[in-house]
Chain A
Amino acid sequence: MAGATSLHLGGIPAERFEANPATREPVWVKWAIIITALSFFALFVLMPLIVVFAEGLRKGWDAYLAALIEPDALSSVRLTLLVAAVSVPLNIVFGVAAAWCIAKFDFPGKTFLITLIDLPFSVSPVVAGLIYVLVFGRTGWIGPWFIEHDMKIVFAVPGIILATIFVTFPFVARELIPLMQAQGRDEEEAATVLGASGWQTFWKVTVPNIKWGLIYGVILCNARAMGEFGAVSVVSGHIRGETNTMPLHVEIAYNEYNFAAAFAVASLLAILALLTLVVKTFVEWRAGLAAREVVEE
C-alpha cells in the first residue's frame, strides 16, 4: 500500500484540458469545484499548519527561543537526530538489498515478499511499539536475558530505534522496487559482460539510475523517523532528558499545559515537514526532467 509515497511525475498541462471543448466544464462548474476543494484544503490542511506557528509565537520570540534551548528540549532534539541517524541508513541498506533481489532476479514467492515488506505500513503504530515490549520487556521472550546482562532495550534508546525502524521499514524499498523493476537488468548485465565486478556495476550503473527514487524514499523515511509518535511512545517510558524524542517532548509539555513550549518544539517539526515537502517537490521536478530527457532521446 504505497499510497501517498510513490514518486509522482505529473502529466498533461491543465491548459490543454481547459482549451479543449470536449474536456472542459462550464466556468461556473469549474470554479464551484475549485472553491469547494480549496475551502476543504484550507480548513483541514492549511489552518492546522498556520496554528502551529501562531501558537508557538503567541508569547513572543523570547519565550519561543527559551522553549527551544531549555535542556530537556535540546536533549529531545539530540535523541531524535540520533534515532534518525541510526534507523535511516539501516533502512537504506535494507531497501536497496530488497529492491536488488526483487527487481533483478526471478524467484518464487516474490509478490508475497513484497506484501510482507509492506506490512509495517498497515500495522497501527501502537501495535508496532507493543511488539517490542512483548519481545524485549521484563516478561518478554528475550527481555530477561538482556536485563541479566544489564542491557536495557525497551524504555531505553535501543527500543526507540527498533520501533522507528519498524514504522519506517517499507519507505526506501517501496520506492526502489517499482523503479528498478521498470529499469530492468539490461544495463547491469551489459556492465557485467564488459567485465565490471558486482560492486562496480552497482555503484556505477545502478546507483546513478535510481538516484532520485532513492533520495525520495530517504527523505520520506527520515521525516517519519523523526516524527514518529505512537510506536515510540509505547517503548520509550517517557524519561525526561533520556528517552524523550521531539514528538514525546511536545506531548509532555502539552499535557503540562505548557502550550508555548509544546508548540515551539512542534514548530521545529513542522519546519522539518515543510523542508521534506520542498525536497520532495524538487526531486519530483528533477526526476520528471530526467524522464522527459529519456523520452526525447
Chain B
Amino acid sequence: MATRRALPGFGLSLGYTLTWLSLVVLIPLAAVFIKTSSLTLEQFWHVTTTPRVLASYRLTFGASLLAAGINAVFGLLLAWSLVRYTFPGKKLVDSLVDLPFALPTAVAGISLTALWAGNGWLGKISEPLGIKVAFSPLGVLVALVFIGLPFVVRTVQPVLEDLEIEIEEASSSLGADRWQTFRLVVFPTLYPALLTGFALAFARAVGEYGSVIFIAGNIPMVSEITPLMIITKLEQYDYAGATAIASVMLIASFILLIAINSLQAWTAKRTGKSK
C-alpha cells in the first residue's frame, strides 16, 4: 500500500514511542551488556560457570522445561474440556484459569509454601509418603507449573475454538474413528499453538522469581534458581558478577523471544490467520 498519510499524528506518536521505549527499556537494558563488558572474558567465564551458578542453571532450565511440559499436557486437556464439553462450573473455571497471571507472585509463593509445607493441607499427605515438595527442587517445579498454566490454555483455546467442525465431520464420514481423527486431523492443526504455549510457559518460568523463592528453600547447589543468584550477588555488592549472570539470562530470553515469534508466525500460518 502506498504511504499516503491522510491521518495526522504520525511523527508525534512514532517519536514519542521511540523516545519512551529507548529511555525506559532499551538504554537500561544496554547497561547490562556495557557493565558486563568491563569484565575480561576470563572473569566473565569464571563468574558465570562456578559450580553453584551452574547448579542454578540446571535447576532453572530443567524445572522450567518440565513444568512447561506438564502444562502442555494438562493445559491441553483443560482447554479441550473448556471448548468441547459442558460441565457444571465451567464459566468459573474458564475465568479462574487466568488467576496465576493476575495473582501477585509473592502471594502465590507464600500460599504454595503453606499448602505444601509439612503441616500444610497437601504437605500433610505427601510428606508421610516420602514426597517432600516444599523447600526442595520439587517445590520449584510446583511453583513453575502454577505460573505457566494460563499460557498454554490461552494459546490453545482460541485455536481449538476456530477449528472447523466440517473437517472432523469429513474425517468421521470417511471412516476414521475418534482417536484417528484427533491424532491425524485435529492435533496437527493444534500442534503449533501447543508448542507456542509450551514456549511461553517455559520463557515465563525461566525468569520467574516471586512464586519460587518462598517454596524453594534456597539451598545452595540444590534448590537455588538463577534469578536468586543475581540477587545474592547484588546483596554482596558484587555488581559485575550480578550483571554477568543477568546477561546470560538476557541472552537466553532473547533467543526464546525469537523462537516464540517464529512459532506464533507458524501458528498463524497453520491456522490460516496470517496478517
Are A118 and B231 in contact, CB atoms less than 8 angstroms apart? no
Residue A185 is within 8 A (CB to CB) of chain B in the complex: yes
Contact digits for B93-111, partner A, Cβ 8 Å, 1 yes 0 no = 1011111111111111111
| Pair B108/A100 contact, Cβ less than 8 Å | no
Give the CA-CA distance A30 to B162 in the complex, in Å: 20
Chain B residue nearest in CB terms to A229: B210
CB distance A137 to B239 under 8 Å?
yes
Partner of B111, one of A16, A51, A223, A248: A51
A29 to chain B, nearest CB (A): 8
Residues of A within 8 A of B169 (CB): 20, 22-23
Q: Which of A7-15, A63-71, A207-215, A289-297 contacts B (4 or more CB under 8 A)?
A: A7-15
Q: Which of B27-35, B40-48, B49-57 contacts A (4 or more CB under 8 A)?
A: B27-35
Taking the complex as formed, is B180 at the interface, i.e. its CB lies under 8 A from any CB of chain A?
A: no
**In the docked arrangement, what's the CA distance between A233 and B86, Å?**
43
A198 CA / B99 CA spacing, docked (Å): 39
Tell me if B129 is interfacial: C-beta within 8 Å of chain A.
no
Question: A277 is contacted by which of B96, B168, B228 (Cβ under 8 Å)?
Answer: B96
Do A105 and B110 form a contact, CB below 8 Å, given A40-B77, A48-B115, A123-B253?
Answer: no
> Are B13 and A100 in contact, with the CB atoms below 8 A?
yes
Q: Is A273 an interface residue (CB 8 A)?
A: yes
Q: In the complex, A14 Cα to B3 Cα: how many Å? A: 45
Q: How far is B90's CA from A3's CA once the two chains are assembled, in angstroms?
A: 21
> Which chain B positions have C-beta within 8 A of A25?
178
- In the assembled complex, how far is the CB of residue B233 from the closest CB belonging to chain A, in whole angstroms? 9
Main secondary structure of the interface of B (DSSP, over half): helix
CB distance from A177 to the nearest CB of B (A): 11
A122-B253 contact given A98-B13, A101-B10, CB 8 Å threshold: yes
Number of interface residues of B (CB under 8 A): 109
**A193 and B107 contact, Cβ closer than 8 Å, known pairs A44-B146, A122-B253, A126-B231:** no
The interface bits of chain B over 148-163 (1 if a CB of A lies within 8 angstroms of the residue's CB, else 0) are 0111001101100110
> Separation in Å of the A202 CB from the closest CB of chain B?
7
Residues on B with C-beta less than 8 A from A120 are: 25
B87 near A34 (CB under 8 angstroms)?
A: yes
Q: Cβ of B78 < 8 Å from any Cβ of A?
A: yes
Interface residue B138 (Cβ < 8 Å from any Cβ of A): no
Chain A contact residues (Cβ within 8 angstroms of B): what range?
Answer: 35 or more
B130 is an interface residue with CB less than 8 A from chain A = no
* Separation of A15 and B86 alpha carbons in the complex (Å): 7
Given the known interface contacts A123-B207, A192-B8, A229-B209, the answer about A266 and B111 at a Cβ–Cβ threshold of 8 Å is yes
Cβ-defined contact, A14 with B102, below 8 A: no
Beta-carbon nearest neighbor of A170 in chain B: B25
Encode contact with A along B211-245: 1 for CB under 8 Å, 0 otherwise. Answer: 00010000000000001101100100001001100
Pairwise interchain contact B209-A169, C-beta atoms closer than 8 A: no
**Nearest-Cβ distance from residue A246 to partner chain B, whole angstroms:** 8
Contacts A22-B172, A55-B114, A104-B7; is A45 near B165 (CB within 8 Å)? no
Asked whether B26 lies within 8 Å of A266 as measured between CB atoms, the reply is no
| C-alpha gap A273/B98 in the complex (Å) | 9
Cβ contact within 8 Å between B3 and A33? no
Min CB–CB distance B77 → chain A (angstroms): 4
Let me know if A100 and B121 touch, CB within 8 A. Answer: no
A127 touches B102 (CB 8 A): no
Question: Within 8 Å CB of A274, what residues of B?
Answer: 99, 102
Contact surface of B with A, Cβ cutoff 8 Å: 1, 3, 5-10, 12-14, 16-17, 20-21, 24-29, 31-32, 35, 74, 77-78, 80-87, 90, 93, 95-112, 114-115, 120-122, 142, 145-146, 149-151, 154-155, 157-158, 161-162, 165, 168-169, 171-173, 178, 181, 197, 200, 203-204, 206-210, 214, 227-228, 230-231, 234, 239, 242-243, 246, 249-250, 253-254, 256-257, 260-261, 264, 275
Other A-B pairs, 6, CB within 8 Å; known A17-B84, A266-B104: A41-B97, A52-B111, A122-B253, A126-B231, A130-B243, A227-B102
The 10 lowest CB-CB distance pairs between A and B, nearest first, are: A227-B104, A124-B207, A11-B161, A229-B210, A22-B172, A198-B8, A230-B209, A131-B28, A101-B13, A126-B227
14 CB < 8 A contacts A-B: A4-B98, A20-B165, A55-B114, A97-B12, A97-B13, A97-B16, A104-B9, A107-B14, A124-B206, A131-B32, A198-B7, A229-B104, A247-B105, A277-B95
